[in-house]
Amino acid sequence: MLYIDTHCHISDKAFSGEEDAYIQCALDSGVGLMLQPDTDSSERKDMFDLVDRHPDVLRPMLGLYPGSVGADWRDEIGKMLEYSGRPVVAIGEIGLDYHEGKEFAREQVEALEWQFDYAAGRGLPVNIHMRDAMGDFIEVVRRHKGLRGNMHAYSGSYESFLELSRLGDWYIGVGGVVTFKNASLAEVVRKIPLDRIVLETDAPYLSPVPLRGRRNESSNIPIIAAKVAELKGIPVEEVARATTLNAKTLFGL
């Protein structure tokens, strides 16, 4: 195994009927494990069913996605807890997302804090979706110092990463965005130590250059690794070794 995709949605409708071929293609590309984030009750069963069919290569998470948080978020948490007996590698993908507005900002913060406490109680890392809400997110993290987790599809600054690192044990997830022209993530990746980086695709989203506009897959992880190696001026084999070790350490793989 060369690589671990720490965030991909293979149970997404985009891959319906093609899941086995997707996984085989990933394996052929050196991606030996693929972590499956949870979103909400509308997709959870499909995700866990897929994991059950491929237990050697897929690992599940459990969580309530911020975009699925509304006034009834506690009901959604209750449905999530129906799966609390299942072994998972993280509580995720959870977080804050104000990109479409702040109508449920208070509820998102409440749901995030509840899930932070739940993760701490279970001794699990968190997998974070954060979009246009870094200030509020850091304030929540300050109230929950000592967490360990991954900032999926990291879009923040180097300075924000340093602040998070003062508050807990944090990594960043680097995906296809790092290959985009003029992506600010590239400069952040240059600065952040390699031992704080994990690789991901967020498949079927965020395909790397030169595949933008096409469906993303875990088999594209080597493209992302090559870009990280280029930015850091190191061999891609070093990126593979380090990011796989980081993923194993963070997620207990």
Confidence (pLDDT) at 186? 96
For residue 96, what is the enclosing H or E element? strand 91-97
CA distance 58 to 245: 17
For residue 35, what is the enclosing H or E element? strand 31-36
Give the global pTM.
Answer: 0.97
Confidence (pLDDT) at 93? 98
Instruction: Inform me whether the pLDDT recorded for 62 exceeds 90.
Output: yes
The answer to whether residues 31 and 3 touch, using CB atoms and an 8 Å cutoff, is yes
CA distance 54 to 40: 21
The answer to whether residues 201 and 195 touch, using CB atoms and an 8 Å cutoff, is no
Confidence of residue 198 (pLDDT cuts 50, 70, 90): very high
The answer to whether residues 50 and 37 touch, using CB atoms and an 8 Å cutoff, is no
pLDDT tens-digit series, residues 4-54:
999 999 999 999 999 999 999 999 999 999 999 999 999 999 999 999 999
Confidence of residue 171 (pLDDT cuts 50, 70, 90): very high
Mean pLDDT in the chain? Answer: 97
Instruction: Inform me whether the pLDDT recorded for 1 exceeds 90.
Output: no
* Residues 116-130 as b or e (16 or more Cβ within 10 Å = b): bebbeeeebbbbbbb
